[in-house]
A and B are shown apart, each in its own frame.
Chain A
Amino acid sequence: MAKSRKRKKKNRAKKQPHSLKKFVFWLIIISLFSLLTWVGYLDYTVQRQFEGKRWSLPAQVYAASQELYAGAELSKGVLVAQLEQLRYRKKASLEQPASYRLRRSSIDLYLRDFQFGDKYRTAQKVRVSFSGGHISSIIKLPIGQSLPLLRLDPVLIGNFYPKQREDRVLLQLNQVPSSLIQALILTEDRDFYEHSGVSPKGIARALWANLRSGKIVQGGSTLTQQLVKNFYLSSERSLVRKITEALMALILEVHYEKDEILEAYLNEIYLGQDGRRAVHGFGLASEQYFSQKIEKLSLHQSTLLVALVRGPSYYNPVKHPKRAKDRRNRILKLMQEQGAISAKEYQSAIKKPLDITGSKQSPDRLFPAFMDLVRRQLLQEYKNEDLTSEGLRIFTTLDPAIQKETERVVKRRIPQFEKAKKLTAGLLQSAAIVTRREGGEVVAMVGGARVKYAGFNRALDAVRPVGSLIKPVVYLRALASKKYTVNTLIDDAPISLKNSDGSIWSPKNYDKKLHGEVPLHTALAHSYNLASVRLGMDVGVDNVLEMVKKMGVRRPLKSFPSALLGASALSPFEVAQLYQTFAGDCFVTPLRSIQVVLSSQGESLQRYPLTVRQAADPAACYITNTIMQEAVSEGTGRSAYRWLADDMNLVGKTGTTNDLRDSWFAGYTGDYLSVVWLGRDDNKPTRLTGASGALQLWSEVMRTIGRQPVGLIKPEGVEYFWIDSENGLLADESCFGVKQFPFIKGTEPSQLSSCSSPGNRVKSWFGRVLGDQPH
């Protein structure tokens, strides 16, 4: 037993060197295999990413362009503000595009090249002259030829990003000024065209240069390594990563030409931050810092961009102008020393200021409710992936000035209402939509009291009872039937109706009074519930709801009597669609937030054209609109005229729901339509009526943006007649107290009134309206 143990020990001792060798052998084999697999994997990774689509380009979303023409209401100051927003630079002379020069009563503009939704405009110089808050003329410079119309490039209002908020403008190598490439190669990788991805010489030179100057003036990584680091790897600092980087750089150089690598580098490198957007590549950096296409950059400008490569935030020219300028000048010096530029060029360039565009851009990029609408409309045609990677250029209908004004009013008024009505702060919510009166383009949208908060978009998703906003449809349908005229008497007396569940519904007037027999127009203008329900029941609830549908509202509404008083719920957007139809003479134009979508190459992918569809009899529509004018001038919307001029002929309607839970106003001027809703997310009372709440906001917005009075055009089927107020019969214009009313031809009264004189007035329905009859 003891012997055998000894033998085993001996054997083991003999075997040990042999197994170690074997172990080492296998270790080497496995290591080599792993290394090769790893290199193979790296090779695959390098090629796959470089061959395919290298970058996800976020969609660019633009506002509508500001149109300039003689007569346009636009002051010099407002134009300057818009130019600043578009990053145009104020200059003493117009040398580069995207600059302007102020004169006493005019502005000289050097407009930049721009691919609009419908055509490409090359850079051009113009002079815009002003007189009394208007544009008086636009001429082409230097010839002086008059231009009837001109548009500014639109403001970028946002992007649809993939996960990383990287943005870039892709470049081809031949677009980049040679001075920029020379500066880059001199500072970052002098042996770029010689090395094979890694440069020991470069590392040694950088080390020496840095030691000599006491600062980091050169880097040891080649451009290829920098590209690999940015393009393929994380920002982690470790030896393994450094080795991976070097290996990948070598692999990249094996597979691709130097120019291809350089071009990728120019597009990849991170060059700064614009709010939450990361600026990548020299193409976007050029636009970001100088408002210029890269081809147009001067020596001092392209050198500054190269200066940023080393540390975009450390050398940020906005925050650290001196630091940035010193680095720029050091690079210029290096260029001169190496013979890339002459001494004269050097002297001239170092004297130049940084020359950058101001940095105020991000605040205008935050219109969450509107961007939400754009995204939803786009997602009907595109996959989310397309929106965030294809570099689509989306031209929307937003008017930034109107959007900001609407936001301002909502922000100002909501806390005031909360205070006045003793509501807990933060509970009152709001939504507002502004559209162009014709064409259905949405120019502004606010989705909540916190206007910049990208949460629940009430303009689209708060589906709330609309109250009296539905009434004009009841009246339109009644007038279209020709059974009723503007003056037909309707009994505003108690009414009880059976709901489908057998319960009895007995509506009341808002003022709890009974108004007796009232002319149709008065019943709508004063929003009498009982008269409206009686009228609606005669016309038929289904007929009214069918009209709502015809007028562009897609949401199916349940047919029950209380629908006649707006128990049916709609979103503010749907209400805007309904009133857009009234504003457009009862032609439906679907609301739009997008004009056109272009590919990154500028090809038109999708147009959202103007469409119309006649929804109702134009004569009945016209008369309903005139009654809604009365609703504002004499009825529930009167207070609008505290804000707006008497001659605006406003058309609109208030809406208030039970227990003052929702406060609505929908209406239009000659140029814009707006719908405002106020309410609470918990659906509790707001203590506001349509008139005391939403109308106040509406009026304040419209006072600023509404320029044109409403011009209703009388259709052929309508005639005006003088009517005796005493009896509703035809009268002579010369009679006392007669009024003109529009009638659908053939529905006017046939009997003539024996013209009454002021002295012998009899008690009539008109007198009762004025209060002679007890309620």
Chain B
Amino acid sequence: MIYRTTGYLFLLPLLSGCVDLSPYQQIPAPVEGNYPSVYRQSAPAGNVNSQAAKVTPHHEVYEEKRATVIDPVVLALVNESKATEQRGGISSAISTLERGVRIRPRDPLLWGRLAKLRLQQDKPVLAENLARKSLALIKSGTNRPLQSSNWLVIAGALKQQGKIKEANLASQKAKILK
């Protein structure tokens, strides 16, 4: 993991300069739990708390990689989308992010950005669902800034739908995660 993260360190100055990638700027949280995809049997007796039992299952490693390293493809498309958005081309900015989803379908940042843009377009139901989808793609306990930003979108979307009480709860969640 250290190797993988340091491999992308050279990208950090680039990021701070041009993209709000705060969701990716945190130190990766420790891998939580050790749950298998198919129910895993415990290690033989006597091998209590062995390292083997703590190994993260393969698919979790894959998702972890997605969630913590900065993917140049995602970065490029998020950048492009932001630039397009600033020029007023919000629907083009959305198309660019959707192109990203086609290449990196399980990247929560892309879904989170889509949620933000949909909220700007006054499409609160879609924005809320996109933000929830982004949350579903973040491994619990990691990527708190993105989680927070998604809860903010949800709060805004709920407010637009007149669900004030739920919106306040969502805002609180966003604050806690910040």
Contact = CB atoms under 8 A, between A and B. Distances in A.
Interface string A622-653: 00001001100110000000000001010000
A633 B39 CA distance: 11
Interface string B38-52: 111111110011000
B37 interface: yes
Contacts of A441: 102
A312 interface: no
Contacts of A649: 37-38, 58-59
Contacts of A50: none
A145 to B, nearest CB: 13
A715 B63 CA distance: 13
A476 interface: no
A675 B71 CA distance: 31
Contact of B59 (A437, A584, A711, A757): A711
A118 B35 contact: no
A596 B99 CA distance: 12
B96 interface: yes
A614 B129 contact: yes
Interface in B32-90: 33-45, 48-49, 53, 58-60, 62-63, 66, 72-73, 75-77
Given A436-B102, A436-B105, A626 B42 contact: no
A612 B130 contact: yes
A540 interface: no
B116 interface: no
A752 B133 CA distance: 36
A380 B172 CA distance: 43
A624 to B, nearest CB: 13
A16 B48 CA distance: 132
Interface stretch (B1-9, B19-27, B136-144, B157-165): B136-144
Contact of B36 (A64, A607, A740): A740
Contacts of B120: none
B110 to A, nearest CB: 10
A631 B37 CA distance: 12
Contacts of A93: none
B77 A149 contact: yes
Given A118-B96, A436-B102, A711-B59, A737 B42 contact: yes
A737 B41 contact: yes
B92 interface: yes
B139 to A, nearest CB: 6
Contact of A587 (B33, B39, B98, B136): B136
Contacts of A438: 101, 105-106
Contacts, number: 147
B95 interface: yes
Contacts of A521: 39
Contacts of B34: 720, 740
Contact of B72 (A69, A118, A607, A713): A69
B126 interface: yes
A439 B40 contact: no
A148 B76 contact: yes
B103 interface: yes
How big is the A interface, by class? 35 or more
A231 interface: no
Interface string B118-150: 000000011001101100111110000000000
Interface string A106-121: 0000000000011100
Contacts of A714: 33, 35, 139-140
A295 B68 CA distance: 48
A439 B77 contact: no
B105 to A, nearest CB: 3
A716 B132 contact: no
Contact of A647 (B53, B58, B73, B138): B58
B83 to A, nearest CB: 12
How big is the B interface, by class? 35 or more
Given A149-B73, A439-B105, A587-B129, A713 B41 contact: no
A722 interface: yes
Given A670-B62, A711-B63, A733-B53, A626 B37 contact: yes
A176 B92 CA distance: 32
Interface in A140-172: 148-149
B41 A738 contact: yes
B63 A587 contact: no
B114 interface: yes
A595 B94 CA distance: 12
B106 A613 contact: no
Given A64-B102, A670-B62, A734 B48 contact: yes
A706 to B, nearest CB: 13
B37 A712 contact: yes
A713 B67 CA distance: 11
Contacts of B16: none
Contacts of B36: 740
Contacts of B99: 67, 118
Contacts of B38: 626, 629-630, 633-634, 649
A148 B98 contact: no
A612 B33 contact: no
Contact of A439 (B42, B91, B102): B102
Nearest to B72: A148
Given A614-B129, A733-B42, A709 B103 contact: no
Contact of B137 (A670, A671, A713, A735): A713
B91 A607 contact: yes
A474 B48 CA distance: 38
A711 B42 contact: no
B48 A733 contact: yes
Given A612-B133, A716-B140, A671 B105 contact: yes
Contacts of A670: 59, 62, 106
A742 B35 contact: yes
Contacts of A630: 38-39
Given A607-B91, A710-B37, A734 B42 contact: yes
Given A67-B99, A584-B133, A716-B140, 7 more contacts: A67-B102, A149-B77, A611-B126, A612-B129, A709-B59, A740-B34, A740-B39
Minimum-distance CB pairs A-B, first 3: A438-B105, A148-B76, A118-B95
Interface of B: 33-45, 48-49, 53, 58-60, 62-63, 66, 72-73, 75-77, 91-92, 94-96, 98-99, 101-103, 105-106, 114, 125-126, 129-130, 132-133, 136-140
23 contacts: A70-B72, A149-B76, A149-B77, A439-B105, A486-B39, A612-B133, A629-B37, A649-B37, A708-B62, A710-B37, A710-B59, A711-B60, A711-B62, A713-B63, A713-B137, A714-B35, A714-B139, A716-B140, A733-B48, A736-B44, A737-B41, A738-B41, A740-B42
